[in-house]
Every structure is written in structure tokens, then in C-alpha cells.
Amino acid sequence: MDDGTLPADLVAGLDVQRATPVSGGDIAHAYRLETPDGPLFAKTHPTPSPGMFEREAAGLRALREHTPAELGVPEVLRESCRGLVLEWVDEGSMPSGRTEVALGAALAHLHGAGSRTGRTHYGGLEGDADGATHGYLGSGAVDLTPTQDWPEFYLHRRLEPLVIRAAGEGRLDPAAIGILSELEPRAAELCGPISHPALLHGDLWAGNRLVDTDGRNWLIDPACFWGHPEVDLAMMQLFGGFGPECLDAYQDVSPLADGWRDRVAWYQLAPLLVHAILFGGGYGAAALRALSRYR
């Protein structure tokens, strides 16, 4: 099959009989592939950012390695610089109290991967200090250069470049640059305590969580890195879509440190800044308000 869209090297040998466009995000083109062995999911981009699909594939594999069996992560069947082929997931009902409890407990287990493996560095996925040095949050490039200092990583690898870029592109009041600099001496306090790096999904809004026809949770479209567990939890609260049972179940497995509620806006800054850069609108003002509350 050659429809002029799917890269030939990505689907060679799969005997694709039909490719039907499906929803799959704002960045890539997504398809359901019909094959003799059942449906598959493909996502492609004609001009992807360097390493975009490779980083996603690495994130999916890391999640599959460390998630408990009750939490699904699609298997990467094919990858290239222009796309991925993954196992197909049949979406089912809306999340329920049962699925929320299961997700919260499984997410706490996932975040505990750093403790179980003895991970010491924040940032790139690989297990050594020379891990990956770049990744993406949405289509926005982010620095994953590893460090053993979480406040340094979050302030200088994540927030500072995004604030400078957003201000430079006119999506954020330039005053934010000075506010962030003013907060730098308090970075450790603002970031809160952490015992081990957590393996993070990295972009955990409700659209990146599926519930299949059997009621099993699945995680898709990760922007994985090793960081503070409250990053994922703050993202989950930014746009909604997760029930209170999820956080309760998480805390039953892994209680959050004192003051975590005060850090939610701090850890929502990165996705707000990325949204300001990509979409404009009121995201820049929301990011400035979140930053200003910590002065």
C-alpha cells in the first residue's frame, strides 16, 4: 500500500490493507492501520523536529518497563524519524471511580521507579549521567541534560529557557524574567522535598490517558524524564479530567510531602509556558500569575 502519506519504511512488511485517519493530537497525523493480524495505530509527521519520534518511543518503552501490569502502555512496533507504529487500543467507557483508583495507585508505583532502581540523576531517560540531552513537551523543545540537583534542573533546564523564549516571542510579559531571577535563591524551597527521581509521564493531561473496553487505564503520548513526582500531579490538575479518587489512591501508596498543594502552581508553570508559546491566548497571563504568587 502506498497512499503518499505513510512513510514506506515505517509500514514495510505490515501488509497494511487500509489506513483510516483518526484523532491523535495537534502535532502528528494519526491513522488506524488494518492488517491481517489486527488493527495498529500509526502516527507520522512530514517534517518532524529532530528526535521527536525517537524520544517518544524511548518514553513509551521506559513506561512499559516500570508500570505495573494493570496500567497499559502501547507497545512500540515500528519507529523511524518520521513516525511510529504502536499497538491499537480500543477505547471504552469514560473513567469511573474504579479506574481513577487504579490509575492513582499505578502512577504512584511508576513514580517509585527511581527508588527501586537507585536512580540519582534528573533529566534524560538513560540510566547514566550521559543520558538524553533534549526532548519535547508537546512540540516545544526542552533541555534534558542530566543533573543530580532537582531545583537546578527545574529552574535552569525547564523554566528559565521557556520564560525567556515566551517573553522573546511576545507571549509573556518580560517582567517574568526578573521575577524568576528573583526567585532563584529560593528554588530548593519552592521545589519541595524529594527523595529519589521519579519516572514521569511528563505531559499527563486527560487526553493522554485512555480507558479501554475492559476498563483498563492506558498512558499515551509521553514526554518522559526523571524528575519530581508533583510535576505529573500538577499537570493532571491543570486542565482537569481526573477524579479525586485518583489522588487519594496515589497518596495511599505514596503520601505527598507537606506543602504539596502550595507547589501545584509552581509545577504548572512549564505547561502553561509551553501553551503560551504554542497557542498564545491567556496562557501567558496565567503563567505570570502563577509565577508572581511565589514572590
Q: Which of 232, 285, 287, 283 is nearest to 260 (CA)?
A: 232
| Extended beta strands in the chain, E state | 18-22, 29-35, 38-44, 71-72, 76-80, 83-87, 134-137, 140-143, 198-200, 209-211, 217-219, 225-227
Q: Which of 203, 214, 258, 262 is catalytic?
A: 203
Sorted by sequence, the CB contacts under 8 Å of residue 116 that are 6+ apart come out as none
Residue 242, all three cell numbers = 481526573
Measure the CA–CA gap between 284 and 290, rounded to whole angstroms: 10
What DSSP state is assigned to residue 261?
G
Neighbours of 269 (CB within 10 A): 23
Instruction: Decide if 203 is catalytic.
Output: yes
Q: What letters, b where the CB count within 10 A reaches 16 and e where it falls short, cover 177-194?
A: beebeebeeebeebbbeb
Residues acting as catalytic residues: 203
